[in-house]
Amino acid sequence: MLVVAEREQLPVQQARAGEPEAWDVLFRRYQLPLYVYVFEWVHDEQSSLDIVQETFIGAVRHIGTLRDDARFGSWLFGIAHQKCIQLWRQQSRENASLEELSNTPVEFAEDPSDWLIREEQETGFVQLLNQLPLPQRSALLLHFVGEFSLEEIADTTGARIGTVKSRLHYARKALKALWEEKNENAP
Amino acid sequence: MKTPREILLTRHAPANEKLDAIRQKAIRVAGDVNRRTTPDREFTFAAAPFRALCSTLGHQLSSLLQPSPQAWAALAAVWVVILSINFSLRDKPRTISQESAPPSPQAIAVLQQQERLLTELIGQSSALEAGSQKPFLPRPRSERHAEVRTA
């Protein structure tokens, strides 16, 4: 069972009504996690800030397309995710394909808070995270940073729940393997 | 000890200042959008549900079509074939009538004879009509007085 943080009440309905104060609360809540997610995709500060800005403005203009107020977070990350893919395609920085991994549903029993990392290992952890293939990294970042459920990650990335489970499973496995390898090689 | 979330958020915390500026800009856009749409609400209160309905329909349609685009493409191709067959069959009777053989000389002769008979009959009937007496029609009184005076 995937453990996610309990959701706070967000003024999505007021934002729909066009109240700037409500938008301020929503953007304040998501600005840093969204930026982290985008940055870990594109690895460029300016592009990440541009994408966050476009995402916010897109959200303001297209709030009418949000069907479930409780899913505001994953909907917002979904807009950013699409923009990241667009940029990634334009730049073609990586040759790694976005091919679907095995759709075999794997039980993913993981709480983000279970991953406790010592201060001296923080940089190493981020480096290892960046070594993961893009779809796995994306799923793991949404899990870590966005604290989204499997359904929400599936919504955000446009993948099936089984695929998300699989990606998270392989990402975790790969990350652990890299972690152990790194620790073994450490003096 | 920190969680991955804490590590990532702490690493990128310096970006918060720039993100605040971006947030302010987006809120200004929200204010503009709100100002632009508010007067319309009084007149087009029915537009919002309509737009919501359209977006729902669009979403449903895309979720219906997305899983198997190849199957839908094949179905569309089948429909194109059916329509083309339908059109080609509809055109056939016209071409048959256009391409029918010209009438034979015998048929033309028979037709001409019938035509002649018809004109003869019409001629006779008109002659008969001319020969028959006209029925008595009373003339105006003024004319009758003039006839009496001249007599």
The interaxial angle of helices A122-131 and A161-185, nearest 10 deg, is: 130
CATH code of the domain in which A109 resides: 1.10.10.10
Q: Which of chain B's residues have a Cβ under 8 Å away from the Cβ of A28?
A: 23
Q: Is residue A86 part of a domain?
A: yes
Q: Is residue A149 part of a domain?
A: yes
Domain residues for B4?
1-65
Cβ of A31 within 8 Å of Cβ of B22? The answer is yes
Q: For chain B, what is the domain count?
A: 1
Whether the CB of A92 is below 8 Å from some CB of chain B: the reply is no
Q: What is the pLDDT along chain B (151 residues), one digit of tens a residue?
A: 788 888 899 989 999 999 999 999 999 988 887 777 665 444 444 555 677 777 778 777 776 666 677 788 889 999 999 999 998 887 665 555 555 567 788 888 888 888 888 888 887 666 656 555 555 566 666 665 655 555 5
Structure confidence at residue B73 (pLDDT):
87
Burial label, B103 (beta-carbon count in 10 A; 0-12, 13-18, 19+): exposed
Q: Is residue B120 part of a domain?
A: no
The single-letter code of the amino acid at B66 is Q
Of the three residues A29, A59, A93, the one that is the final residue of a domain is A93
Q: Is residue A3 part of a domain?
A: no
Q: Give yes or no for a contact between A41 and B8, defined as CB atoms under 8 angstroms apart.
A: no
Q: For chain A, what is the domain count?
A: 2
* Shared domain check, A48 and A84: yes
* Shared domain check, A132 and A72: no
Instruction: Round to whole Å and give the CA distance between A93 and A167.
Output: 21
Of the three residues A93, A114, A143, the one that is the final residue of a domain is A93
- Residue B29 has a CB neighbour count (10 Å cut-off) of 19
Geometric angle at alpha carbon A96, from A92 and A101, rounded to 5°:
135
A102 phi, psi to nearest 5 deg: -55, 135
Å between A62 CA and nearest CA of chain B: 11
Q: Is residue B46 part of a domain?
A: yes
The single-letter code of the amino acid at A57 is I
Q: Is residue A154 part of a domain?
A: yes
Roughly how many angstroms between the first and final C-alpha of chain B, as a whole number?
Answer: 147
Residues of B in CB contact (< 8 Å) with A are 1-5, 7-9, 11-13, 15-16, 18-20, 22-23, 25-31, 33-34, 37-38, 48, 51-52, 55-56, 59
Instruction: Round to whole Å and give the CA distance between B151 and B143.
Output: 13
Cβ of A122 within 8 Å of Cβ of B11? The answer is yes
A98 phi, psi to nearest 5 deg: -95, 30
Domain residues for A157?
105-187
Structure confidence at residue A31 (pLDDT):
94
Q: How many CA atoms lie within 13 A of A95 on its CB side?
A: 0
Cβ of B26 within 8 Å of Cβ of A113? The answer is no
Structure confidence at residue A105 (pLDDT):
38
Of the three residues A93, A116, A146, the one that is the final residue of a domain is A93
